[in-house]
């Protein structure tokens, strides 16, 4: 499995388009997250103290302590994200806000970016964060098996310390959106931290590790956090293997927050006055991938036919229980630059049959659609789509694979399979990581010269308005020819106790920024 896939699912952060960030003023990076938690009246003020008990999904057999490794468990990613800081974070007024990097500035050709570290940033053991720590951490990240996808266009030797406060990243090509790469997995460790010491390595984040046992942990407030005052005394993270067990624990009052619990739990909780249901739109994409490089779906007419087969409204209603929205085969639905004016593709069985006939598609065969049960609704979406495809004469057999087998053997190799992403605030994210001809995680094996050229031209364009026009062209090509069938977007669902305040409502990595969360009781 590509190392960042699971991190991206839980982290959900990518590259957004929020204007040219050639120069970004300093700030904490956490200040503009929004909360839908009730504030208890205009006079209610945030109060410090208390322990927030958080339940998160995961399996004890899959725990990891490496900030740059494969976080298959949401529980592990939550813990790592609170203990270690990235250079930047997502926000709601801007897709990229400062965090451990206080500001950044590009060279005129948009190939060289200088990041200035935040004043007063220290590790939990009191030692200051240095540019050498940052360079070592980013090079370590880049040298992971999926490093080229994590930091596309940046080679390890192109990451350097210029002085005591400045880290330089040199891109192989002009990239107006490069700072947005630093929102994901750029966790900073102390230079030369050995792998054997990762479990107890000090971070720079708002919480310090007190103890960790088999995916469960207790984190205590970092009173010296450079990003500002942290309200909670502590956060206790408890691992749960199923959404049902997670939601049951919340409803029973055993935890205060059930993270990413799903639509079924939301339906149950909506009648409870003592439970808050928080919905995060555009949180999860579960597209069907059609291999474009070779095989039965290499013909663009066949891919268009399958997209026309999908009854998107029915899939949102049945698979997502209505907790989601219809999508239009373009990834990055939460991006401010998302092309909403491209006509919504609708079901058209007659046209689908016509295209299949023109392409000489063999309808006498049965085609496997491979899926997993990694997340709620994924296998169900495959089954419903297979039923819908039969109405166009396409016979599909749904094959459920064990997660490890799927990521090792099917992902990026299969002819027809489901995938999932929690990073949906950027069309550029998917372009750079999954759709360029040389993308590190090209899921469908797609190679399209026009798409590649549109991406490179957009990234070399400093003017935000002009870049948005180029990104529109990018999405037009994706909509017409890519290997993705994105039928809908699932809402992220969190359940919280009545006393919880200040929960972030941003998707993905924004969702785990809990430094401003507090308890009213």
Q: How confident is the model at residue 43 (pLDDT cuts 50, 70, 90)?
A: low
For residues 9 and 411, the answer to whether their CB atoms sit within 8 Å is no
CA separation (Å) from 288 to 381, 383, 386? 9, 12, 11
For residues 469 and 333, the answer to whether their CB atoms sit within 8 Å is no
More confident residue, 25 or 322: 322
Give the mean pLDDT of 389-407: 94
pLDDT 10s digits, 179-193:
988 987 899 999 999
Q: How confident is the model at residue 42 (pLDDT cuts 50, 70, 90)?
A: low
pLDDT 10s digits, 91-108:
777 778 999 999 999 999
236, with CB counted inside 10 A (0-12, 13-18, 19+), is middle
Reduce the DSSP state of residue 410 to 3 states and report it.
Answer: helix
Phi-psi region at 434: left, alpha or beta (left = phi > 0; alpha = psi -120 to 50): alpha
CA distance 403 to 213: 24
pLDDT at 262 over 60: yes
CA separation (Å) from 67 to 127, 199, 359, 475? 19, 10, 47, 33
For the chain, percent of residues with pLDDT exceeding 90: 69
Domains of the chain: 3-39+46-203+499-519 (3.90.76.10), 283-490 (3.10.105.10)
The residue assigned the tokens 């940033």 is 121
pLDDT at 1: 36
For residues 46 and 518, the answer to whether their CB atoms sit within 8 Å is yes
Question: In DSSP terms, which residues pair with 371 in a beta bridge?
Answer: 400
More confident residue, 267 or 51: 51
pLDDT at 10: 40
Q: Tell me whether strands 484-485 and 288-290 are parallel, antiparallel or unpaired.
A: antiparallel
**C-alpha angle 355-358-362 in degrees, rounded to nearest 5:** 90
pLDDT at 35 over 90: no
pLDDT at 507: 72
pLDDT 10s digits, 464-497:
889 999 999 999 999 999 999 999 999 988 999 9
Q: How confident is the model at residue 280 (pLDDT cuts 50, 70, 90)?
A: confident
Q: What is the pTM (predicted TM-score) of this model?
A: 0.84
CB atoms within 10 A of CB 166: 17
CA distance 156 to 170: 10
Q: Identify the DSSP state of 62.
A: G
213, with CB counted inside 10 A (0-12, 13-18, 19+), is exposed
pLDDT 10s digits, 111-158:
999 999 999 999 999 999 999 999 999 999 999 988 888 888 999 999
pLDDT at 36 over 70: no
Q: Identify the DSSP state of 503.
A: -
CB atoms within 10 A of CB 465: 9
pLDDT at 333: 92
pLDDT 10s digits, 221-239:
999 999 999 999 999 999 9
For residues 342 and 515, the answer to whether their CB atoms sit within 8 Å is no
pLDDT at 513: 86
Tokens of 43: 């006079």
CA distance 361 to 297: 9
pLDDT at 427 over 70: yes
CA separation (Å) from 226 to 4, 89, 191, 262, 321? 28, 15, 19, 34, 42
Q: Identify the DSSP state of 151.
A: S
DSSP per-residue letters across 293-350: SSSTT-SHHHHHHHHHH--HHHHHHHHSTT-EEE--S-S-TT-TT--TTSPPP---HH
CA distance 454 to 478: 11
């Amino acid at each position: 499995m590509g190392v960042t896939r699971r991190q991206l699912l839980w982290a959900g952060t990518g590259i957004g388009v929020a204007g040219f960030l050639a120069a970004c003023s300093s700030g904490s990076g956490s200040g503009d997250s929004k909360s839908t938690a009730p504030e208890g009246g205009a006079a209610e003020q945030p109060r410090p103290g208390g322990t927030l008990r958080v339940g998160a999904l995961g399996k004890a057999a899959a725990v990891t302590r490496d900030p740059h490794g494969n976080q298959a468990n949401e529980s592990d990613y939550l813990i790592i994200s609170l203990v270690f800081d990235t250079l930047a974070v997502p926000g709601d007024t801007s897709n990229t806000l400062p965090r451990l990097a206080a500001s950044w500035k590009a060279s005129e050709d948009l190939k060289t970016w200088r990041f200035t570290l935040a004043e007063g940033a220290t590790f939990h053991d009191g030692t200051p964060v240095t540019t050498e720590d940052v360079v070592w951490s980013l090079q370590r990240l880049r040298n992971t098996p999926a490093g080229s996808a994590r930091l596309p266009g940046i080679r390890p030797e192109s990451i350097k310390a210029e002085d005591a406060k400045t880290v330089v990243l040199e891109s192989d090509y002009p990239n107006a959106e490069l700072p947005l790469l630093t929102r994901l997995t750029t966790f900073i460790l102390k230079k030369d931290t050995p792998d054997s010491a990762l479990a107890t390595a000090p971070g720079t984040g708002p919480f310090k590790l007190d103890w960790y046992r088999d995916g469960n942990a207790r984190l205590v407030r970092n009173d010296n956090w450079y990003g500002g005052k942290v309200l909670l005394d502590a956060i206790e993270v408890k691992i749960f293997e199923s959404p049902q067990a997670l939601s049951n624990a919340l409803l029973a009052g055993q935890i205060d927050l059930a993270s990413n619990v799903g639509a079924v739990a939301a339906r149950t909780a909506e009648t409870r006055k003592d439970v808050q249901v928080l919905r995060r739109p555009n949180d999860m994409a579960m597209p069907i991938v059609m291999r474009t490089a070779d095989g039965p779906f290499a013909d663009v007419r066949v891919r268009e036919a399958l997209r026309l087969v999908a009854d998107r409204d029915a899939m949102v209603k049945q698979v997502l229980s209505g907790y989601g929205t219809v999508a239009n085969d373009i990834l990055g639905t939460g991006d401010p630059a998302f092309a909403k004016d491209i006509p919504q593709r609708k079901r058209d069985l007659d046209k689908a049959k016509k295209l299949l006939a023109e392409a000489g598609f063999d309808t006498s065969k049965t085609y496997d659609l491979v899926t997993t049960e990694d997340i709620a609704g994924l296998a169900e979406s495959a089954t419903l789509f297979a039923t819908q495809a039969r109405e166009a004469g396409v016979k599909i057999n749904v094959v459920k694979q064990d997660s490890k087998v799927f990521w090792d053997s099917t992902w990026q190799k299969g002819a027809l399979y489901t995938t999932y992403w929690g990073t949906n605030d950027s069309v550029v994210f998917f372009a750079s990581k999954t759709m360029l001809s040389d993308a590190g995680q090209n899921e469908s094996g797609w190679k399209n010269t026009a798409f590649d050229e549109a991406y490179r031209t957009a990234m070399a364009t400093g003017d935000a308005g002009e870049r948005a026009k180029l990104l529109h062209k990018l999405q037009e090509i994706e909509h017409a020819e890519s290997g993705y069938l994105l039928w809908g977007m699932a809402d992220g669902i969190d359940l919280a106790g009545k006393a919880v305040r200040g929960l972030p409502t941003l998707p993905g990595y924004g969702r785990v920024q809990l430094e401003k969360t507090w308890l009213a009781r």
